[in-house]
Amino acid sequence: MTKDKEPQIGGKIRRLRRQRRISQGDMANAIGISASYLNLIEHNRRNITVPLLFKIAGYFGIEPGELAQSDDSQLVGDLMETFGDDLFVDSDLTNQEIRDLAFSNPVAARAVLRLFDKYKQVIQGSGKTTPASSHEEGKFHLATDAISDFIQENANHYPSLEEAAERVRHDIDIASDNFEQGMRTYLLNVFGIECKLTSLPQGIARRISHDGRILEIADILPPETAVFAIAHHIGLLASESEMSEIIEQSTLPEQDAPALARNVLASYFAAALIMPYQPFLKSCQNYRYDIDRISRLYEVSFEQVCHRMTSLQRPNASGIPLHLIRTDIAGNISKRFSLSGIHIPRHSGACPRWNVYSAFLQAGRVNIQLSQMPDSEIYFCIAKSFEKGGYRHNAQRRHFSIGLGCHISQAKSMIYSDGIDLSNQSQIVPIGVGCRICPRMSCEQRAHPPADHRFKINDEQRAESLYGRI
């Protein structure tokens, strides 16, 4: 096994330790090593022997195989995209050197990403253009990328919010056999807030009355969105201390990132409240991640199920490692998360060959693709496009596509792999992270040449794409 293929699990050990609020010294004493040695392991500067791997897995109460799944794969992709910018064209960095930075010192690697994010924000604010393509600048905002990093660093799993949601769900189930009515009763009994469906100004999904005693929900929302809005507000009230502690322990920048994080965490709580962890995990396993069937079971949307599936990371009771991406019809990526290992672009649009884009051409259908990244790893990807908009005449519709997937080795766990020959090489579609860092020189869909190459135009022979032959 080559160095870049060795499991780099330091990031996951660090995350599990921090989730349990355990100091390095206490954990080191428990597993019989020094705190300095544990620090080196967490930064992937020391290899882990098999006996030590089993000891650490036993300490956390998980299987060694779960521990060996790295959390740092997306970090590598983000760094490659960053160093693919024209700003670094003379640096002559190799992919291996970038991987070494991500795996040996992920803290420093994330600091580099934050520095580059800040650079792009400053350039954008000054009205100047970077050496890279200027049309991408309008899509960048420091806080949104910080939130993506925040979710990725926590593997989209927050145990304290899961516990809070389970406590509230227990009280709701006692209050009523009907979940939505139980939430309304809980809000009234615990917080003195009455919930009402009402006509609200256009663009407002919910609001609190001036006296703070009525939660108004827009009556044009789809039923599953209205239920989620109530659960979200319960999360803001019932898990306020848990959310504050998570944010305080994070490395989020100041300004609007903490406020955005609070909204994201309240959404996480809402999903955990509507789709409780253990029953939902069992449904995923029993129905083999059949999203439509699970959507019907919990009366939620396709997108809500996809989000919840990515959060099943409880030690010793986890789902398969998934990635998720959501994009609009213009190619803007609004949500990105990866535990499968696939690389999702940080600042630019994804590869046009990826089925998350072709799904727009077959609205409402689940599209399936075997996607191969430039590092030769293959992923099983499904994608579906959908609309959002209010239940009223002439309501403007918003078009999105959501992609979900796993490493090819996990594909048989998903019902969508039935009837697919996973070993058929002709079914594999080569994709990349983005044109500026994709090494595939013969791609006919290139929008940009690779950042570290220059091209010459041959007047006697023209490729399908101007950048298809460098």
Q: Write a three-state SS string for 88-134.
A: HCCCCCCHHHHHHHHHHCHHHHHHHHHHHHHHHHHHHHHCCCCCCCH
Question: Per the structure block, which two tokens stand in for 75?
Answer: 């970090």
pLDDT at 63: 75
User: In what helix (H) or strand (E) does residue 429 lie, and over which residues does it extend?
Assistant: strand 428-430
Higher pLDDT pick, 271 / 83? 271
Q: Within 13 Å and on the Cβ side, how many CA atoms surround 29?
A: 4
User: Mapping DSSP to helix (H, G, I), strand (E, B) and coil, where does residue 337 land?
Assistant: strand
How confident is residue 102, by pLDDT bands cut at 50, 70 and 90? confident
Is residue 152 scored above 50 in pLDDT? yes
Q: What are phi and psi of 448, to 5 degrees?
A: -140, 150
Is residue 27 scored above 70 in pLDDT? yes
How confident is residue 80, by pLDDT bands cut at 50, 70 and 90? confident
pLDDT at 284: 98
pLDDT at 97: 83
Label residue 347 exposed, middle or buried (CB < 10 Å: 0-12, 13-18, 19+). buried
pLDDT at 263: 96
Is residue 108 scored above 90 in pLDDT? no
Is residue 5 scored above 50 in pLDDT? no
Mean pLDDT of 350-356: 90
User: In what helix (H) or strand (E) does residue 260 lie, and over which residues does it extend?
Assistant: helix 257-274
Is residue 328 scored above 90 in pLDDT? yes
Neighbours of 426 (CB within 10 A): 6
Is residue 69 scored above 50 in pLDDT? yes
Is residue 179 scored above 50 in pLDDT? yes
Q: Within 13 Å and on the Cβ side, how many CA atoms surround 254?
A: 0
Mean pLDDT of 255-269: 94
User: Mapping DSSP to helix (H, G, I), strand (E, B) and coil, where does residue 334 land?
Assistant: strand
Is residue 206 scored above 60 in pLDDT? yes
Question: Per the structure block, which two tokens stand in for 167?
Answer: 């406590």
Q: What are phi and psi of 197, to 5 degrees?
A: -85, 130
Q: In whole angstroms, what is the distance from residue 182 CA to residue 173 CA?
A: 6
pLDDT at 458: 62
Is residue 250 scored above 70 in pLDDT? yes
Nearest to 344 by CA among 284, 267, 417, 404: 404
pLDDT at 386: 93
How confident is residue 137, by pLDDT bands cut at 50, 70 and 90? very low
Choice among 207-216, 424-433, 450-459 with the minimum mean pLDDT: 450-459
pLDDT at 95: 72
Choice among 123-132, 213-222, 361-370, 379-388 with the minimum mean pLDDT: 123-132
Mean pLDDT of the chain: 86
Highest mean pLDDT: which range of 62-66, 207-211, 313-317, 346-350:
207-211
Is residue 462 scored above 80 in pLDDT? no
Choice among 126-140, 331-345, 452-466 with the minimum mean pLDDT: 126-140
